[in-house]
Amino acid sequence: MKNYITISNDYFEMIIPSSLKKYGEEVLNYSTDKLKEFLSFFREQNCEKIKGAFLINHDDFINRIKEVSAPNSPLPPEWATGCFYGGETQILLNENSPYENFNTLAHESFHLLFSKFVYKKNNIERIVWLDESLANNFDGSTDKLIKDGTFKNIIIKLINNNKLPNMNELSFSKGNIITKEYNGYDLFKVVGRYLIETKSDLLDYINNKERIINDGKKILEESLDYFISKYNLK
């Protein structure tokens, strides 16, 4: 690809527009620290080097996905900016404001490790709400929302919404992650933070399929009740 360079360290190897080299190096440093945290959480020592590409227009993003994927693989939703196809991660950046996606490499890396150390290890089919909820917190993005008050506002918005889904029903293939009634990523952030703050046995919990599926029916309601009490929103 023209005007793209490769940046790498012991954990990542990414192609990126040469104009964004400094940004890419900052992302790699941040994501490396996060990856070490992820490995510690999963009680693993190491993982294979993660490869991928930062792209700056949607056509390049989709073409890269097609290039590395099996024929006729389903493409990501139109709104997606981070994916994992063909054994690598693809991240779509706005060249003028790339820091909007500063956490995306860490986010996608968490998905990769979760798939390897939980789903594949236990022969569990993906449970979207589970790994998305934790990825949206382990990547550091929800921490920012808590600090600036946005997270509390998300809670207030959700408790006034009577059209929230059963978390077990959320699926990218069903197209019900982002709808007119709700943004599933708000739900993931809330549920993930609830799990982190309340499950002292979190690693054991995520390896228990029966418990997860059973909890998925009510986990959003439990999460909202927890934060309503924590923030005195009654």
Domain ranges across the chain: 4-119, 124-230
pLDDT in tens, 58-115: 999 999 999 999 898 899 989 999 999 998 999 999 999 999 999 999 999 999 999 9
Burial of 164 (0-12, 13-18, 19+ CB in 10 A): middle
Task: Read off the pLDDT of each residue in 1-20 and give the average, rounded to a whole number.
Answer: 94
Q: How far apart are the first and last CA of the chain?
A: 55
What is the fold, at CATH topology level, of the domain defined by 4-119?
Answer: Zincin-like (3.30.2010)
More confident call, 74 vs 1: 74
Task: Read off the pLDDT of each residue in 46-60 and give the average, rounded to a whole number.
Answer: 95
Asked if the model's pLDDT at residue 2 lies above 90, the reply is no
Task: Read off the pLDDT of each residue in 17-37 and give the average, rounded to a whole number.
Answer: 97
Report the alpha-carbon distance of residue 88 to residue 184 in Å, rounded: 24
Q: What is the pLDDT of residue 1?
A: 67
Predicted TM-score (pTM) of the model is 0.94
pLDDT in tens, 180-230: 999 999 999 999 999 999 999 999 999 999 999 999 999 999 999 999 999
Whether residue 186 contacts residue 158, with contact meaning beta carbons closer than 8 Å, is answered with yes
Q: What is the pLDDT of residue 135?
A: 98
